[in-house]
């Protein structure tokens, strides 16, 4: 049974996570809505958590933005801020980054790390007011056995294999919501940004097609990516039963900053290097053969249109009932 590891550490993820950084900006409306509508506690701290925070660059911006908006509502408010990721995450790097310029979130703030899987509660009951999970909940808790995978991603598999992964994704999503329901206060706000799909439009599908081709050429053993991009229906289905109400849902297609740069300067080599580094930052712990990334870079430079990492991105906000 394959389990997932974390991202490439030693700052590599942080240096190659511009795409994920873009997602914070594109969800600014929901961050503002959550910060202005959440009930502040009569006493004690506001609990904030970022689930799947990785090495911290984007997490610091995200949590910092929420703290700033909430302080505008109540200047003397205290905060508990939890950065969560899997045990293999580079937590040393995360804390070095957080404290590089002194106390990260100002006075009366307590910063903690949690290395529990977000498929379980990561904080005591009713302690969190706003919870964010960016570019992380499409990672499954583990990969169920798929006898003959015809591609690395569920969307490139036959119906039977696809159904096995869909069932795992449904169990994981429900576990995720139930865990949040325990640790969030009533009225608490959950903001999710994740890869998704709309019909046949699936996050990163052209890149996965290229990856399948490369693995075939390398005679790589069968491999199943522990990722599932959910549809709107799959995301919304268990909300009510798990104690959440949908406040906002949208799916948008986004190109990457590298593709935008390519359109301006036409530099295919720089484009392919940046795009491959972005992919490597999260894929290398699972597929470590360096030839994969050499071939990917080469092919992406040859055919940027046919191989790019187009994002189908879900931005969703739920409130705890
Ligand atoms: C692509 S990174 C996103 C990091 C950051 N949120 C950002 O937007 O840049 C996904 C992160 O989710 C973490 N992750 C995946 N599954 C997890 C789980 N079950 N519990 C906690 N973290 C998890 C990974 O270790 C990784 O650091």
Nearest to 19 by CA among 315, 311, 314, 316: 311
Average pLDDT over residues 238-265: 94
Average pLDDT over residues 2-19: 69
For residue 242, tell me if it sits in a domain: yes
Q: 89 CA to middle of ligand 1, Å?
A: 9
For residue 210, tell me if it sits in a domain: no
Strands 109-114 and 79-84: parallel
For residue 278, tell me if it sits in a domain: no
On average, the pLDDT of the chain sits at 94
For residue 301, tell me if it sits in a domain: no
Say yes or no to pLDDT of 209 above 70: yes
Neighbours of 87 (CB within 10 A): 10
Say yes or no to pLDDT of 19 above 80: no
Residue closest via CA to ligand 1's atom 13 equals 52
pLDDT of residue 200: 86
For residue 291, tell me if it sits in a domain: no
- Give the phi and the psi of residue 135 in degrees, each rounded to 5: 55, 40
Residues 6+ apart with CB under 8 A from 27: 134, 191, 193, 315
Enclosing domain of residue 72: 2-198+222-255+310-320
Say yes or no to pLDDT of 312 above 60: yes
Q: 266 CA to middle of ligand 1, Å?
A: 32
Judging by beta carbons within 10 Å of its beta carbon (0-12, 13-18, 19+), is residue 176 exposed, middle or buried? buried
DSSP β-bridge partners for residue 50: 83, 132
Q: Is the CB of 154 under 6 A from ligand 1?
A: no
What confidence tens digit (pLDDT) does each residue in 62-84 have? 999 999 999 999 999 999 999 99
CA–chain centroid gap for 67, Å, is 21
Q: 4 CA to middle of ligand 1, Å?
A: 10
Average pLDDT over residues 274-298: 96
The reported pTM is: 0.94
pLDDT of residue 1: 36
For residue 211, tell me if it sits in a domain: no
Say yes or no to pLDDT of 5 above 90: no
Q: What is the domain-level CATH number for residue 113?
A: 3.40.50.150
Average pLDDT over residues 113-133: 98
Task: Tell me how far apart the alpha carbons of residues 65 and 28 are, in angstroms, rounded to a whole number.
Answer: 9
Say yes or no to pLDDT of 188 above 80: yes
pLDDT of residue 218: 98
pLDDT of residue 4: 60
Average pLDDT over residues 88-96: 95
Number of structural domains found in the chain: 1
What confidence tens digit (pLDDT) does each residue in 148-183 have? 999 999 999 999 999 999 999 999 999 999 999 999
Say yes or no to pLDDT of 2 above 70: no
For residue 216, tell me if it sits in a domain: no
pLDDT of residue 254: 84
Q: Is the CB of 17 under 6 A from ligand 1?
A: yes
For residue 276, tell me if it sits in a domain: no
């Amino acid at each position: 049974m394959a389990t997932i590891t974390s991202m490439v550490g030693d700052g590599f993820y942080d240096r190659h996570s511009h795409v994920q950084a873009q997602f914070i900006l594109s969800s600014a409306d929901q961050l503002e809505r959550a910060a202005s509508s959440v009930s502040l506690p009569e006493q004690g701290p506001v609990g904030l958590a970022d689930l799947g925070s990785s090495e911290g660059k984007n997490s610091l911006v995200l949590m910092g933005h929420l703290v700033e908006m909430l302080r505008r509502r109540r200047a003397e408010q205290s905060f508990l801020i939890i950065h969560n990721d899997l045990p293999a995450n580079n937590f040393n790097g995360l804390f070095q980054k957080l404290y590089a310029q002194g106390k990260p979130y100002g006075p009366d703030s307590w910063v903690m790390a949690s290395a529990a899987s977000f498929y379980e509660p990561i904080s005591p009951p009713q302690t969190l007011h706003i919870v964010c999970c960016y570019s992380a909940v499409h990672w499954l808790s583990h990969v169920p056995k798929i006898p003959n995978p015809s591609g690395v991603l569920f969307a490139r598999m036959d119906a039977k294999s696809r159904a096995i992964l869909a069932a795992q994704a449904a169990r994981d999503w429900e576990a995720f919501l139930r865990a949040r329901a325990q640790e969030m206060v009533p009225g608490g706000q959950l903001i999710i940004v994740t890869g998704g799909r709309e019909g046949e439009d699936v996050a990163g599908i052209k890149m996965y097609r290229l990856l399948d081709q490369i693995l075939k050429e390398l005679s790589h053993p069968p491999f199943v990516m522990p990722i599932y991009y959910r549809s709107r229906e799959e995301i919304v289905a268990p909300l009510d039963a798990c104690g959440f109400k949908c406040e906002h849902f949208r799916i948008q297609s986004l190109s990457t900053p590298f593709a935008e740069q390519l359109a301006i300067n036409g530099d295919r080599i720089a484009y392919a290097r940046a795009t491959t580094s972005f992919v490597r930052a999260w894929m290398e712990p699972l597929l470590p053969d360096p030839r994969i990334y050499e071939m990917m870079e080469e092919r992406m430079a040859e055919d940027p249109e046919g191989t790019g990492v187009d994002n189908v991105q879900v931005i969703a906000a739920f409130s705890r009932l």
